[in-house]
Amino acid sequence: MTEHSAAQRATIRLHLWMESSGSTLFGLGRLQLLERIETCGSLKAAAEELGMSYRAAWGKLKASEEALGVSLVEKVGGNKSGCRLTPEGHDLAEAFRLWFADVERHAVARANAHFPFHCVSFQELKKRSAILLRDSCATQNI
Secondary structure (3-state) at 53? coil
Segments making up each domain of the chain, as ranges? 6-129
* CA 58, 59, 64, 70 torsion-angle sign: positive
Q: Which residues pair with 19 in a beta bridge?
A: 24
Report pLDDT for 8. Answer: 80
Domain 6-129, architecture per CATH: Orthogonal Bundle (1.10)
Of the ranges 17-26, 97-106, 128-137, the best mean pLDDT one? 97-106
Longest dimension (CA), the chain: 59
Residue 103 has pLDDT above 60, yes or no: yes
Residue 79 has pLDDT above 70, yes or no: no
Residue 136 has pLDDT above 90, yes or no: no
How far is 97 from 136, CA to CA, in rounded Å? 21
